[in-house]
């Protein structure tokens, strides 16, 4: 069985590296710290599922993760799981409205994340 390709997008390098570390035993993990880096990876690699943080710039209230979600859904149609440590109700609702497979509030429960990833990939 071939391993699925997972893209994790988060400007918090510590969080990005830790998520990658716990998921790399089950997935080929690609990491991006910005919207531009994520788009570049998506254009070159065959990604099966994406895990995207809402805020992709430090010390900013930007919602570039939503821009990326919309771009991925339009261009690739793969499942996108959105995550954030800010404004859980607002971001959860907006995530669903924009077509996210699921919304996770940080800190993320790894067992829950693994189940959500499996569910996203089984559709």
**Distance, CA of 25 to CA of 29 (rounded, Å):** 9
Partners of 23 in beta bridges: none
pLDDT 10s digits, 28-75: 999 999 999 999 999 999 999 999 999 998 777 789 999 999 999 999
pLDDT 10s digits, 75-120: 999 999 999 998 889 999 999 999 999 999 999 999 999 999 999 9
pTM (2 d.p.): 0.96
Q: What's the CA angle centered on 25, arms 23 and 31, to 5 degrees?
A: 45
Helix residue spans in 1-123 (DSSP H):
13-23, 35-44, 64-75, 88-97, 110-121
Look at the domain 4-121 and name its fold.
Answer: Rossmann fold (3.40.50)
């Amino acid at each position: 069985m071939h391993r699925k390709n997972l893209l994790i997008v988060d400007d918090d390098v510590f969080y990005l590296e830790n998520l990658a570390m716990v998921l790399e035993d089950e997935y080929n993990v690609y990491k991006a710290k910005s919207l531009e880096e994520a788009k570049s990876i998506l254009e070159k690699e065959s990604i099966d599922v994406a895990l995207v943080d809402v805020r992709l710039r430090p010390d900013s209230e930007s919602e570039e993760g939503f821009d990326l979600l919309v771009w991925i859904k339009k261009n690739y149609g793969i499942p996108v799981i959105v995550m954030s440590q800010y404004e859980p109700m607002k971001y959860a609702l907006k995530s669903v409205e924009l077509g996210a497979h699921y919304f996770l509030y940080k800190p993320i429960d790894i067992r829950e994340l693994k189940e959500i990833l499996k569910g996203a990939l089984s559709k």
